[in-house]
């Protein structure tokens, strides 16, 4: 029997029409093997997903869509999936509108991430509880699928026993998937702000490594953070086992 080819970034990326940054969290090395595919998928916003894209998503085994955007973002761009009969749509805002204003006071993106983590543990608890309770494949997304989605993805991979370097590689992959869209967003920014904006858009691996280190130093790890937020250990174990 021929050996099964290893999964890599090209195989984890999903081409759903009108999505820029969608990929499976499966196929990454972990303790005892590789993370499972078709279970947890990270993405940018699904607001503009075409009929073809929705069919591709369902065919991939997705039964739950977890929208991490704020309430104000939903008012501006409602999700058409909220009314879908074949998909369970859940809204679990990771940053509420009041904290959206405060986060802009952070000096850099790492501080913004830490602000979200330290000020919104209950929001992460609700997100991870929803993931643990879901049957079938789960897509979780924010707007661009890089910051809020990136934090949730890093936490999920860490719980599943993926090494920090491989978590960071997944995080950095966003830069490749969004490279063309970055240039569009940068071109729309005022000329004097483009260099700063370009830096904020990037997903350097060292940033998420610092975030994982923050979880360890301040909270005792991702599992301890979620337990401290009120999530039962059995529920945390259920989430961790999804990718195992």
* 161/117 Cα distance (integer angstroms): 20
> How many CA atoms within 13 Å lie on the side-chain side of 130?
24
Beta bridge mates, 138: 40, 64
Lookup result for tokens 């990454």? 28
The tokens describing 51, both together, are: 């009929």
Beta strands 88-91 and 62-67, pairing class: parallel
What confidence score (pLDDT) does residue 210 get?
98
Q: Where are the beta strands (DSSP E) in the chain?
A: 23-24, 29-30, 33-34, 40-43, 62-67, 88-91, 137-141
Using alpha carbons, select from 7, 52, 16 the residue that is nearest to residue 139: 16
pLDDT at position 99, please? 75
The answer to pTM > 0.85 is yes
Can you give the pLDDT at residue 5? 36
CATH of the domain spanning 13-242, picked from 3.90.190.10, 3.40.50.2300, 3.40.640.10, 2.60.40.1230: 3.90.190.10
The pLDDT, as a whole number, for residue 184 is 94
The DSSP 8-state label assigned to residue 87 in this structure reads S
In the numeric block, the tokens 């991979």 are attached to 157
Structure confidence at residue 2 (pLDDT): 32
Distance CA 197, CA 194 (A): 5
Mean pLDDT by 10 residues, the chain (244 residues): 41 88 96 94 95 93 97 95 93 87 74 94 98 97 97 98 97 96 94 89 97 98 98 97 95
pLDDT of residue 121: 97
CA dihedral 41, 7, 215, 208 (to 10 degrees): -90
DSSP per position, 200-243: HH---HHHHHHHHHHIIIIISSHHHHHHHTT--HHHHHHHHHHT
Interatomic CA distance for residues 211 and 110, integer angstroms: 7
Beta strands in 142-186 (DSSP E): none
pLDDT for the residue 42 = 98
Beta bridge pairs of residue 43? 141
């Amino acid at each position: 029997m021929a050996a099964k080819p290893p999964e890599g970034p090209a195989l984890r990326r999903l081409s759903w029409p009108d999505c820029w940054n969608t990929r499976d969290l499966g196929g990454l090395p972990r303790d005892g093997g590789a993370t499972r595919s078709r279970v947890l998928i990270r993405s940018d916003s699904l607001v503009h997903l075409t009929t073809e894209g929705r069919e591709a998503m369902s065919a991939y085994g997705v039964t739950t869509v977890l929208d991490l955007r704020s309430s104000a973002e939903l008012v501006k761009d409602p999700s058409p999936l909220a009314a879908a009969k074949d998909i369970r749509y859940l809204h679990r805002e990771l940053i509420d509108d009041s904290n959206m204003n405060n986060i802009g006071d952070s000096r850099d993106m790492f501080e913004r991430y830490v602000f979200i983590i330290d000020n919104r543990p209950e929001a992460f608890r609700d997100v991870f509880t929803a993931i643990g309770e879901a049957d079938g494949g789960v897509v979780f997304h924010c707007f661009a699928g890089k910051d809020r989605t990136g934090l949730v993805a890093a936490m999920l991979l860490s719980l599943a026993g993926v090494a920090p370097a491989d978590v960071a590689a997944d995080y950095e992959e966003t830069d490749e998937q969004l490279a063309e869209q970055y240039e569009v967003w940068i071109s729309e920014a005022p000329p004097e702000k483009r260099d700063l904006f370009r830096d904020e858009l990037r997903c350097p691996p060292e940033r998420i490594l610092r975030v994982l280190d923050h979880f360890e130093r301040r909270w005792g790890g991702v599992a301890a953070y979620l337990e401290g937020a009120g999530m039962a250990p059995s529920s945390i174990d259920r989430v961790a086992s999804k990718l195992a």
